[in-house]
């Protein structure tokens, strides 16, 4: 795996694919700079070597050139995070970009305009990738969030740097953390899979079964399993067409000696609302008109020892509707169990949009070994797929 450590950037122009697709408010202020902060170590190393940095990213889903998606809105915040002035080129290819790069001195940073102002970016257009490649001496991919897309700037561009391409620190850390869970994990290994649908996690489940000892199932997909096992689930969410699949998963797990942990009780509500009436019910007997929105206290008690005794923990998906305060307890308690296990030496990897949002919301992020920055990319790696953005550097 070629990383930044394999290159000295002195006098070199590094063109870096970053993921600066950050949220903006109505005044175009950055409301969450996490993704910019995540790229800082890579940029710092190149500048420290005496190189210069050309940053390229997308922002939003523009249809052609749309002012509201201009990366000029994030220049000030990027400069603030990096602690150095940031220059801006109002185009990402052609004369404007080339002139801006020609003027760039060692130790300077240039941000290019939104790549997706060109349809060629998402199409993976070779000619467009070549125009981007002209701008730099070394290509660095540090955008895990887009590594599963074969776009011009994430994948195709790499072919123009046969010897001079590498992973940035963030992307290298993502690959390393996922490999640690999937291929070099210390046992026992526990996977916590939550979220609403079995269908969206089925390939992940099938790929990780050979690598884990325990699987904790939570969130809305619980009810597809419970109904398949003959339980009464009231008005709870369920994928009826996936019930046979749920039983198949349980059989496969048994054959591979993987212990499956389903909730035994639920916090049931008579409406999907913080104002709802609630009661704790047996997971196999949820009354008509009620729906399970969080795991109950007995379930959490049962999970405590499983997590405590794990040496490697993968957490993908919440245990309940944590966005509503009334149903956040299961996810928070689980997070605290994982934090405790991490403190005692376990390796914990959190990934997938909702679980990442949860650990951030409840202040648990610093207590985990690693929190992934890429939802879709991480899921595809967990499914055992080769990501085009990673393959392009490794080839």
Give the residue ranges of the annotated binding site for substrate.
19-21, 35, 58-61, 116, 149
Q: Which residues contact 361 (CB under 8 A, 6 or more apart)?
A: 322
Distance CA 15, CA 329 (A): 44
Binding residues for (2R)-3-phosphoglycerate: 35, 116, 149
Whether omega for the bond prior to residue 91 falls within 30 degrees of 0, making it cis, is: no
The Cβ of residue 373 has, within 10 Å, a number of other Cβ atoms equal to: 22
Rounded to a whole number, what is the distance in angstroms from the first to the last CA of the chain? 10
**Alpha-carbon distances of 185 from 125, 177, 179, 311, rounded to whole Å:** 38, 10, 8, 8
Q: Which residues contact 56 (CB under 8 A, 6 or more apart)?
A: 15, 16, 17, 18, 92, 112, 115, 132, 153
Distance CA 265, CA 138 (A): 55
Binding residues: 19-21, 35, 58-61, 116, 149, 201, 292, 323, 352-355
Token pair recorded at residue 73: 């809105």
Binding residues for ATP: 201, 292, 323, 352-355
Active site residue 296: no
Q: Which residues contact 191 (CB under 8 A, 6 or more apart)?
A: 208, 212, 214, 215, 216, 313, 314, 316
Instruction: Give the bridge partners for 87, in sequence order.
Output: 110
Token pair recorded at residue 127: 């000619």
Active site residue 353: yes
Active site residue 35: yes
The answer to whether residues 228 and 243 touch, using CB atoms and an 8 Å cutoff, is yes
Helix 34-49 to helix 169-182 angle, to the nearest 10 degrees? Answer: 120
Smallest CA-to-CA distance from 358 within 332, 340, 380, 337 is with 332
Of the residues 197, 311, 326, 360, only one is catalytic, namely: 197
Of the residues 12, 17, 35, 87, only one is catalytic, namely: 35
Active site residue 345: no
Of the residues 180, 252, 304, 376, only one is catalytic, namely: 376
Distance CA 69, CA 92 (A): 14
Catalytic residues: 35, 197, 353, 376
């Amino acid at each position: 795996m070629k990383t930044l450590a394999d290159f000295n950037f002195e006098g070199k122009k590094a063109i870096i694919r970053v993921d600066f697709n950050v949220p903006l408010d109505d005044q175009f202020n950055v409301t969450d700079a996490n993704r910019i902060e995540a790229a800082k170590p890579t940029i710092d190393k190149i500048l420290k070597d005496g190189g210069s940095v050309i940053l390229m990213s997308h922002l939003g889903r523009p249809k052609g050139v749309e002012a509201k998606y201009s990366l000029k809105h994030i220049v000030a915040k990027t400069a603030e995070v990096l602690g150095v002035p940031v220059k801006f080129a109002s185009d990402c290819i052609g004369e404007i970009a080339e002139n801006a790069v020609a003027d760039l001195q060692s130790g300077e940073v240039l941000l290019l305009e939104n790549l997706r102002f060109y349809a060629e970016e998402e199409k993976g257009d070779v000619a467009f990738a070549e125009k981007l490649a002209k701008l730099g001496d070394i290509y660095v991919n540090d955008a895990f969030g887009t590594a599963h897309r074969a776009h011009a700037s994430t994948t195709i561009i790499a072919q123009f740097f046969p010897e001079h391409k590498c992973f940035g620190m963030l992307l290298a850390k993502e690959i390393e953390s996922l490999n640690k869970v999937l291929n070099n994990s210390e046992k026992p290994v526990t996977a916590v899979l939550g979220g609403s649908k079995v269908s969206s996690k089925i390939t992940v489940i099938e790929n990780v079964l050979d690598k884990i000892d325990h699987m904790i199932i939570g969130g809305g997909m619980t009810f597809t399993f419970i109904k398949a096992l003959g339980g009464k689930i009231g008005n709870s969410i369920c994928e009826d067409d996936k019930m046979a699949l749920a039983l198949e998963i349980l059989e496969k797990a048994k054959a591979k000696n993987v212990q499956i942990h389903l909730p035994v009780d639920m916090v049931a509500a008579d409406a999907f609302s913080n104002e709802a009436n609630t009661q704790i019910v047996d997971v196999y007997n949820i009354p008509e008109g009620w729906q399970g929105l969080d795991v109950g206290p007995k379930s959490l008690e049962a999970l405590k020892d499983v997590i405590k005794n794990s040496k490697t923990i993968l957490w993908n998906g919440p245990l309940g509707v944590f966005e509503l305060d009334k149903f956040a307890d299961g996810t928070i308690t689980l997070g605290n169990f994982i934090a405790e296990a991490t403190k005692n030496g376990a390796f914990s990897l959190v990934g997938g949009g909702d679980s990442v949002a949860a650990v951030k919301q409840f202040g648990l992020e610093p207590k985990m070994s690693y929190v992934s920055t890429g939802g879709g990319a991480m899921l595809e790696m967990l499914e055992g797929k080769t990501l085009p953005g990673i393959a392009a550097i490794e080839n």
